[in-house]
Amino acid sequence: MPDSRAGAHAPLSFEPVSLDGQQRYLEYLSRSPQTASDYSFVNVWAWAEEYGLQWAFGKTHVWLRQTRPETVYWAPVGPWSGVDWSHCLCAAGACEFIRVPESLVRLWLQALGDRVRAVADRDHWDYVYRVADLADLDNGRLRSKRELLEAFRQEHDFVYHPMTMDCVEVADEMQEQWLKWRDAESRAVLDAENNAIHRVLTHWDDLHGLFGGVIEVGGVQAAYTVAEELTPDTVVIHFEKGHTRYQGIYQAINQMFLDSQARRFTLVNREQDLGDPGLRKSKLSYEPALFIKKYRVSLK
């Protein structure tokens, strides 16, 4: 049983998230009983500059906090059972948390009772699907997705293949073009995501477990996807972009990637909708098998 009180004797020392701590962080993450997409190292690294993310390595947990636009903690990364949470949280000096998975919220409620106030954050719930459902598209409720996929197959001279370093460089260029195709109304959000994508693509060789796929139409890259093994049975899709002039391009890149490169996984986590109505409608239309629910938590 981990002794969380051991960390109470020394204050936590926070520093910016760095590539140097990747392997150490992953070792702590492997001990977490539930892994939301937020906590994959690739995600933490991708958004570290946008959120001003910092971490501190304790004896039993990694503590994450963001400093922009406000200072707030994320859920501790490491084991959740057998922890003296009263001592552990006091040692961290944290009282406001975001992105806390539901299973950890339950443990805190059991351990700390009315000291915990938890509010569901629907915009940050992860959508999780069965890989077989999205790779096969043989569920009657996904018929419209298959029809769009088949229309794309019939109308275009395309090639699908795994992402290589050459593709990564082209994807980075394509991402800049993709920004120009999009509506400028949400420019701040798109710019932030673009910076995160660029950060990942330009450090492709430095990030463990990254893989992806590309669709070329007429010899030109038209779509790409970037993924990571989240757990032994779950793959997470971090980024998925396609040229919208090709009808069915998103159905194609999603199905082809899962079918050719992700059959070894049972589940695919397609992250959150962030409260965007169109994105929520789209993610729901693929019939999620489950949600990883997350909460904002205040501690007295």
Task: Encode pLDDT of 125-135 as tens digits.
Answer: 999 999 999 99
Q: Residue 287 domain-assigned?
A: no
Same domain, 151 and 243: yes
Nearest in space to 104 (alpha carbons), one of 5, 32, 24, 28 = 32
Residue 171 scores a pLDDT above 90: no
pTM of the full structure: 0.91
CATH number at residue 103: 3.40.630.30
Torsion angle, alpha carbons of 235, 28, 62, 54, to 10: -50
Residue 161's φ and ψ, nearest 5 degrees, are -155, 160
pLDDT interval class at 188 (50, 70, 90): low
Q: What is the mean pLDDT of the chain?
A: 91
H or E segment to which residue 174 belongs: helix 165-181
Query: Last residue of a domain, which of 94, 125, 156?
Result: 125
Q: What is the DSSP string of 217-260?
A: ETTEEEEEEEEEEEETTEEEEEEEEE-TTSTTHHHHHHHHHHHH
Same domain, 182 and 234: yes
Q: Residue 290 domain-assigned?
A: no
Nearest in space to 81 (alpha carbons), one of 111, 58, 57, 102 = 111
Q: Residue 294 domain-assigned?
A: no
Distance CA 256, CA 7 (A): 47
pLDDT digit string (tens) for 100-126?
999 999 999 999 999 999 999 999 999
pLDDT digit string (tens) for 27-57?
999 999 999 999 999 999 999 999 999 999 9
pLDDT interval class at 145 (50, 70, 90): very high
Q: Residue 64 domain-assigned?
A: yes
Bridge-partner residues for 159, per DSSP? Answer: 216
Same domain, 223 and 247: yes
Same domain, 146 and 225: yes
Q: Residue 185 domain-assigned?
A: yes
> Which domain does 160 fall in, by range?
126-271
The two tokens of residue 189 are: 């959000």
Q: Residue 248 domain-assigned?
A: yes
